[in-house]
């Protein structure tokens, strides 16, 4: 299984029946492909819609019905559209149970940096700052390293997107919780050892007493 699919499959298991969930663009969007049949999730899209469905079949695109990346989507029965102020009222107001975002860096305090590389790349924060602050649970879904360099750090070196908002990190190597004492490793991907994941993680991981193998 490729690393991104592994991550998406594991995040999908984290979502609970009845949750309202916002998925970021890219890898997080893949999560919706791997939900168990008995788990009903209401996907929120920050451009102003509830009950976001899968991508339409080729030739059936409706360019008035799109996701936050501007790509055509479908809408589940009972879905609704609304303006951007309502959309972010839903997000900041605590009505989104979980958000899944990619990231450039995350640190052991739960700080996250994913909107700017000063002097190099300035995409902007879009809705990420609001989602991080507003969603009840923040799950970071990302590859463990970038070009061999650690992305899970003692302290983010890039400007923060939000302070102490990350709850969980899922990578192709393992699953980690952010705790008051640091980052706790709770699951290891099949075939990965504690030594291997620690070697590419800057802070010292707290190893859970119930450390398990990641199920996907």
In the set 116, 117, 200, 206, which binds other proteins (CB under 8 A)?
116
Verify binding: residue 65, other proteins, rule CB under 8 A. yes
Minimum distance from residue 43 beta carbon to other proteins (Å):
13
Beta strands in 34-128 (DSSP E): 42-45, 49-52, 75-81, 98-101, 105-107, 112-113
* CA gyration radius, the chain: 17
In the set 55, 75, 117, 192, which binds other proteins (CB under 8 A)?
75
Report DSSP letters for 147-166, one per residue: TTEESEESS-SSPPSBSS--
Minimum distance from residue 161 beta carbon to other proteins (Å):
7
Could you give the string, one character per residue 23-62, with x where binding to other proteins holds by CB under 8 A and - elsewhere? ----------------------xxxxx------------x
**Which residues from 136-165 bind other proteins, rule CB under 8 A?**
159-163
Minimum distance from residue 16 beta carbon to other proteins (Å):
24
In the set 57, 77, 122, 147, which binds other proteins (CB under 8 A)?
122
Minimum distance from residue 92 beta carbon to other proteins (Å):
6
Question: To 5 degrees, how large is the angle CA 34–CA 22–CA 125?
Answer: 125
Q: What are phi and psi of 137, to 5 degrees?
A: -130, 130
User: Which among 5, 46, 108, 195 is annotated as catalytic?
Assistant: 46
Cβ atoms of 209 and 184 closer than 8 Å: no
In the set 68, 139, 141, 214, which binds other proteins (CB under 8 A)?
68
The two beta strands, 112-113 and 149-150, are unpaired
Contacts of 85 (CB under 8 A, 6+ apart): none
């Amino acid at each position: 299984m490729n690393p991104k699919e592994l991550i998406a499959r594991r995040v999908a298991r984290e979502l609970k029946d009845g949750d309202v969930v916002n998925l970021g663009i890219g890898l997080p969007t893949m999560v919706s492909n791997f939900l168990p049949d008995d788990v009903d999730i209401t996907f929120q899209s920050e451009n102003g819609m509830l009950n976001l469905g899968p991508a339409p079949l080729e030739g059936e695109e409706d360019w008035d019905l799109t996701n936050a990346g501007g790509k055509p989507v479908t809408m589940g029965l009972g879905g609704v559209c609304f303006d951007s102020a309502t959309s972010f009222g839903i997000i900041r107001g605590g009505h989104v149970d979980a958000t899944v975002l990619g990231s450039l860096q995350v640190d052991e305090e739960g700080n996250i940096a994913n909107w700017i590389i000063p002097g190099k790349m300035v995409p902007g924060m879009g809705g990420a700052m609001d989602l991080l602050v507003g969603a009840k649970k923040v799950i970071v879904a990302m590859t463990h390293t970038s070009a061999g360099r650690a992305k899970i750090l003692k302290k983010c070196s890039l400007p923060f997107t939000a302070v102490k908002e990350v709850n969980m990190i899922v990578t192709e190597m393992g699953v980690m919780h952010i705790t008051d004492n640091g980052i706790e490793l709770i699951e290891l991907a099949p075939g990965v050892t504690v030594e291997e994941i620690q070697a590419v993680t800057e802070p010292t991981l707290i190893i859970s007493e119930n450390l398990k193998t990641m199920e996907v």
